[in-house]
Structures are given as structure tokens and as C-alpha cells.
């Protein structure tokens, strides 16, 4: 009995690995092309950190004319949630992150290196496990979970490193005959890797993001095939990223400390190791403490949050690149109108310790993104959001399409477009006074400022409607008339004049404009009043002034 016989006893039907080596040949790509992937486990809602990884991986592959694929790591079937995969695919798609290969909607797959769902690759992993057993580099372990726990307790009591290694790795010393006999007797087992490492030796590794790191060698005989026949993450990672010809493993830095094990697996399997780029988690400033964005504590950790709030995808994409590379901000300043795909993202310029996520900044980015949209785009986006989250707004927008596009057109499409909308959930508040239906329900008081006595206000409004208002006026004439009106009522026609002789005037033309603005909108701050009046139209304006005078 030798290792080969043992391997055949364990995996009698597994194919020789040459079958897979030939089935998945080198990719034919230009030099420097990055082949990378997003490899989520469908075990919970989509975290913004996952989107961040996806965006980065997709971007660097695109920049180098490489390949980006989506691999579903569903080997931990106990932790899998319903619709986990669909949610991941939908979220990525929502943010424009299309994979070149991998798992797509409705369990479809695309690409020559599949299957891309690990649960469907069982026989591939078993072939490679068999290959290791044949060489005495992996072995069946018969320790029961209780025995493993006993080992751990002993290690804890003696204050030594936990794990299955060295003298603790009981089953690694079984003879082939002993192993075969136990198997024939029906004892249950898993497959462990026989680590050639020594804890007192160091390995050095250069991570694309973290730079040089040093770790003790791995000496743990980790599980590679579990009792259910599926691989552990570590083994699946090595086999898959080898067969799929991944050049760069871009993943969360919780895996950094597994690098010694992974490099060892690649080496023992005879594979060329990929480059690793370990991304630090997105951090949050919590009252002066920098901590990870937490699924439990922070609603903004969930990708869904952004769609619910109506923060446009373009803004989220842009902001995530912004925190990925600090050079983005300068690039954006120099290229305000370029699409983000023109930005050259550099993995080695990513933050080692974790970029800080700042909601205020995201909303600033978002404001700018929205300010560059056409009024039709704003209308469409706002309507799409409202259809899901605000029935009343959706109804208003649908019933007043042409009018709403005009509303969104106020101070838009010019050099300094309005920036008062940072998310679609702001829309209703920012335009409500443009719709009688909403304005009439607005019970707030009129917020008059400098000129605030009823008879003075009424005088201004009355005179404006009867004598000065003409919907045909161009902007200059319109404004000149407000000056005239101010003069007629003994307010200063120019602010300058008012400042020069403050004792002579009670108020100035700006204060008169404020009266008109408040009467029209109940607000002191709005976009351009001339444009607002143009859109509202004569009837509504007269009605509003009358209402204000009551
Ligand atoms: N399934 C692993 C995770 O979700 C993937 C890590 C990797 O990208 O290799 O953390």
C-alpha cells in the first residue's frame, strides 16, 4: 500500500489534474493585463466594502485590458442566505460593474474558466486533493470535533499556540496502512494539508498595497476538504485562482495573515502564485475614533442604503474612487468633465490603514454629479427613485412631466448650475413650492425678513402685480422693474446707495425682492427668482401673491 493507493481509495473517481490543466489554458492577453476577480460569499447583505472591492478590481482589469470575473464562494453552505447571489449580482449591476466572466443573473454563467460557483467545482478540488495525497502532501484526518476541542483545551491550558500542527497533528503520523484501514472501517474523516512549514522561520512577502510584510511560516495542517466533500476557502482559493489564471488577488485585508499559508499551498501544488493586493476596510470617524464601518451599527454600511436615500450611482462610484486613491481629487479638479473611466487607479497608491468614509463629502460629490445632469436626466432619476420610495412625488412627477422638466431646468445647463440636490430624497423638499398641490399643504409661516410689516408687504405685492409685473419681460427689464417698485415705495433702488446712506432708507431693493420671494415660495433662499416666475406662470404668481396678502 502506498500514497497512490490511498489516494485512489479516497477519491476513486477523481480525474488526473492534467485534465484540468489542459482544459483551462493560459489566457491570451496583452502584456501587463490584470486578471482579477470579486469573490464574495453569499452570506449576508451587500456591504459597501464589497462594492468598493468590486469597483477597484473591475477598474484595474479594465485599465490593463485584462479580465474581471465574478466567482461565487459558496462552500460554507451553513452560512449561505437565500437570494444571496442574486443580491450581489444586482448590486454590482446597479453600480455598472459588469463582470467579463463568471456568474450572472438567473444562475447563468459566461466564460471558459467555469464553473464559477465553487459548490459546482467539487470534483476539481477533489482532483487536486488527490494529487496532494498521492505525493504524501495531504492526508485524511480522523480526529472527531471533540478530539479537536480537547487538543485546543490542552493548548490553552499550557498557553501554547492553538491549532493542528507539529506534535498536535496526530493523524499526520498514521501510516498509509493505518489510514486505509480506518477508511475501510467506515471512520469519518476530512482531508488535511501536510504543511512543510516551520513556525520559527520567516517568510517575506511584498503586497501590492501593504508593501513588505513579514510573517512566520505556516505550519498548520489546515483542512482542505471538509466532511461534506467541499473545500475550505484556502484550498479553493489556490485551486481556483490558479485554474482561472488570476494575476492579482484583490481582497479584504482580513486575509493578509493567511498569505503564508496561501503561498505555501501554491508552492506545494506547483502553481505560480498570484500577486496579492489587500484592501484595508473602509473606516468611519465615530466621535473621534476611527473604526471599521460596521454592518451592525452603521446603516450606510449596506449598499441598499444608497439606493434608498437616492444617492446616484455615479456619485457613489466617484466617491469610492476618491477614497481609493487620494490623487483622484486633483485629477477631478483638473478634469471636471471627464468620465471616471479615464482616471488611472493605482493599487499601490491605496491607503494601507483604511480610507475614511465621509458622508458629507459623498453628498458634496453627489451634488456636483447631479448638477451636471440635464433636466431630463434629473427628472428620470428622481422619478425612478420616487416610484420605489415616494408615491406622492412619483404621482406629481408623472402627472406634470413637461412642467417638472422645466422646474428641474431652473438654473441648470449653465456655467454655475444649481447644487441644491444631493440625493433624490431631497427632490421633494427642494421643489415643493413649484407645485400648488404641495405648496398648499405647506403650513409653515411666511418667513419675511427686513420688511416684515403686513401693510408694507401687502403694498409691495399689490403694486407689483398691478403695475410692474409683466410675464413677457426679459430678465433685465424684470429686475429694473423691481428697482422701480422699490424707488416708488421709498426703498433704496441700489444696495450701494443704501449702504452709503443707511439712515435715509428703511430697506433696499434686495429686501423688496425677498418679500416677493417669500410670498411666492415661503422661502428666503431659492434658485433664480426670475426663472421660478417664468415656470410658475402668471396665474399661479397672482394667486400666490393674493394668498400672501390675506
Ligand atoms: N469569499 C472570500 C470573502 O468573501 C473572498 C476572499 C477573496 O477575494 O479571495 O472574503
Q: Do 181 and 306 reside in the same domain of the chain?
A: no
Q: What residues does 283 pair with on adjacent strands?
A: 292, 356
The three-state secondary structure class of 41 is: coil
| Closest by Cα among 316, 537, 525 to 430 | 525
The CATH number assigned to the domain holding 129 equals 3.40.50.620
Distance 35 CA to ligand 1 centre (A): 16
Q: Do 10 and 147 reside in the same domain of the chain?
A: yes
Structural domain includes residue 82: no
Compute the average pLDDT of residues 426-441: 94
Indicate whether 78 pLDDT > 90.
no
DSSP-based helix, strand, coil % in the chain, nearest 5: 50, 10, 35
Q: Pick the residue whose CA is nearest to atom 10 on ligand 1.
A: 40
Compute the average pLDDT of residues 22-28: 97
pLDDT, mean over the chain: 95
Q: Do 272 and 340 reside in the same domain of the chain?
A: no
Separation between Cα atoms, residue 416 and residue 457, nearest integer Å: 32
Task: Give DSSP secondary structure letters for 333-399.
Answer: HH-TTS-GGGS---GGGS-SS-PEE-HHHHHHHHHHHHHTS-HHHHHHHHHHHHHHH-HHHHHHHHH
Indicate whether 205 pLDDT > 90.
yes
Indicate whether 82 pLDDT > 90.
no
| pLDDT tens-digit map of 469-523 | 999 999 999 999 999 999 999 999 999 999 999 899 999 999 999 999 999 999 9
**Residue that terminates a domain, selected from 324, 344, 371:** 371
Q: Do 134 and 244 reside in the same domain of the chain?
A: yes
Distance 123 CA to ligand 1 centre (A): 21
What confidence score (pLDDT) does residue 84 get? 86
Separation between Cα atoms, residue 370 and residue 312, nearest integer Å: 8
The CATH number assigned to the domain holding 293 equals 1.10.1160.10
Q: What burial class does residue 382 get, using C-beta atoms within 10 Å of its C-beta: 0-12 exposed, 13-18 middle, 19+ buried?
A: buried
Q: Do 132 and 247 reside in the same domain of the chain?
A: yes
DSSP type of residue 230: P
DSSP type of residue 232: P
The total domain count for the chain is 4
Q: Do 384 and 406 reside in the same domain of the chain?
A: yes
Ligand 1 atom with the shortest distance to the CA of 53? 8
**Residue that terminates a domain, selected from 351, 371, 391:** 371
What confidence score (pLDDT) does residue 203 get? 96
Structural domain includes residue 437: no
Distance 529 CA to ligand 1 centre (A): 54
The CATH number assigned to the domain holding 528 equals 1.10.10.350
Provide residues with CB under 6 Å of ligand 1.
Answer: 39-41, 73, 237, 249, 251-252, 255
**Residue that terminates a domain, selected from 371, 386, 420:** 371
Q: Do 251 and 292 reside in the same domain of the chain?
A: no
Q: Do 207 and 303 reside in the same domain of the chain?
A: no
Q: What residues does 61 pair with on adjacent strands?
A: none
What is the domain range of residue 466? 454-549
Compute the average pLDDT of residues 420-443: 94
Q: Do 402 and 366 reside in the same domain of the chain?
A: no
Indicate whether 79 pLDDT > 90.
no
Compute the average pLDDT of residues 242-269: 98
Structural domain includes residue 78: no
Separation between Cα atoms, residue 217 and residue 122, nearest integer Å: 28
Q: Do 300 and 255 reside in the same domain of the chain?
A: no
Structural domain includes residue 107: no
**What is the share, in percent, of the chain residues with pLDDT greater than 70?**
100
| pLDDT tens-digit map of 352-381 | 999 999 999 999 999 999 999 999 999 999
Mutate which of 35, 41, 46, 76 to test ligand 1's pocket (most atoms within 8 Å of Cβ)? 41
What confidence score (pLDDT) does residue 495 get? 94
| pLDDT tens-digit map of 375-395 | 999 999 999 999 999 999 999
Distance 250 CA to ligand 1 centre (A): 9
pTM of the model: 0.90
Amino acid at each position: 500500500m502506498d500514497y497512490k493507493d490511498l489516494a485512489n481509495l479516497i477519491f476513486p473517481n477523481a480525474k488526473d489534474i492534467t485534465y484540468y490543466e489542459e482544459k483551462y489554458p493560459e489566457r491570451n492577453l496583452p502584456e501587463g493585463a490584470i486578471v482579477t476577480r470579486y469573490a464574495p460569499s453569499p452570506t449576508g447583505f451587500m456591504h459597501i466594502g464589497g462594492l468598493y472591492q468590486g469597483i477597484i478590481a473591475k477598474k484595474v482589469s479594465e485599465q490593463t485590458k485584462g479580465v474581471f470575473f465574478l466567482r461565487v464562494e459558496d462552500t460554507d453552505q451553513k452560512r449561505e442566505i437565500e437570494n444571496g447571489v442574486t443580491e450581489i449580482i444586482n448590486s454590482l449591476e446597479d453600480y455598472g460593474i459588469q463582470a467579463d466572466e463568471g456568474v450572472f443573473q438567473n444562475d447563468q454563467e459566461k466564460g471558459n474558466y467555469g464553473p464559477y460557483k465553487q459548490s459546482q467545482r467539487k470534483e476539481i478540488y477533489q482532483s487536486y486533493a488527490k494529487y496532494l495525497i498521492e505525493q504524501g502532501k495531504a492526508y485524511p484526518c480522523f480526529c472527531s470535533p471533540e478530539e479537536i476541542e480537547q487538543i485546543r483545551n490542552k493548548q490553552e491550558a499550557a498557553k501554547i499556540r492553538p491549532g493542528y500542527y507539529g506534535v498536535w497533528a496526530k493523524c499526520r503520523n498514521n501510516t498509509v496502512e493505518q489510514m486505509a484501514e480506518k477508511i475501510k472501517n467506515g471512520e469519518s474523516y476530512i482531508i488535511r494539508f501536510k504543511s512543510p512549514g516551520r513556525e520559527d522561520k520567516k517568510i517575506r512577502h511584498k503586497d501590492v498595497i501593504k508593501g513588505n510584510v513579514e510573517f512566520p511560516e505556516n505550519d498548520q495542517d489546515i483542512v482542505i476538504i471538509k466532511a461534506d466533500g467541499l473545500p475550505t476557502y484556502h484550498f479553493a482559493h489556490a485551486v481556483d485562482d490558479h485554474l482561472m489564471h488570476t494575476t492579482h488577488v484583490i481582497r479584504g485585508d482580513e486575509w493578509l495573515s493567511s498569505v503564508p499559508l496561501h503561498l505555501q499551498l501554491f508552492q506545494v501544488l506547483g502553481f505560480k502564485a498570484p500577486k496579492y493586493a489587500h484592501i484595508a476596510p473602509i473606516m468611519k470617524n465615530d466621535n473621534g475614533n476611527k473604526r471599521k464601518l460596521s454592518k451592525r451599527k452603521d446603516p450606510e454600511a449596506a449598499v441598499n442604503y444608497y439606493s434608498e436615500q437616492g444617492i446616484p450611482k455615479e456619485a457613489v462610484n466617484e466617491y469610492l474612487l476618491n477614497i481609493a486613491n487620494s490623487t483622484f481629487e486633483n485629477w477631478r479638479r483638473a478634469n471636471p468633465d471627464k468620465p471616471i473611466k479615464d482616471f488611472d487607479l493605482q493599487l499601490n497608491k491605496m491607503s494601507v490603514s483604511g480610507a475614511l468614509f465621509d458622508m458629507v463629502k459623498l453628498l458634496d460629490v453627489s451634488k456636483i454629479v447631479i448638477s451636471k445632469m440635464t433636466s431630463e436626466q434629473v427628472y428620470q432619476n428622481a422619478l425612478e427613485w420616487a416610484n420605489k420610495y415616494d408615491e406622492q412625488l412619483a404621482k406629481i412627477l408623472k402627472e406634470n412631466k413637461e412642467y417638472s422638466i422645466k422646474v428641474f431646468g431652473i438654473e441648470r445647463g449653465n456655467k454655475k448650475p444649481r447644487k441644491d440636490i444631493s440625493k433624490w430624497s431631497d427632490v421633494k423638499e427642494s421643489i415643493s413650492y413649484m407645485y400648488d398641490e404641495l405648496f398648499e399643504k405647506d403650513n409653515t409661516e411666511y418667513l419675511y425678513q427686513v420688511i416684515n410689516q403686513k401693510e408694507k408687504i401687502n403694498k409691495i405685492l399689490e403694486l407689483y402685480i398691478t403695475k410692474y409685473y409683466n410675464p413677457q419681460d426679459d430678465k433685465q427689464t424684470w429686475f429694473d422693474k423691481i428697482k422701480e417698485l422699490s424707488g416708488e415705495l421709498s426703498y433704496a433702488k441700489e444696495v450701494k446707495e443704501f449702504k452709503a446712506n443707511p439712515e435715509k432708507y428703511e430697506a433696499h431693493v434686495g429686501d423688496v425682492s425677498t418679500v416677493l420671494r417669500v410670498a411666492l415660495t415661503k422661502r428666503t433662499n431659492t434658485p433664480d427668482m426670475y426663472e421660478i416666475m417664468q415656470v410658475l406662470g402668471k396665474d399661479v404668481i397672482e394667486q400666490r401673491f393674493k394668498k400672501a396678502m390675506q
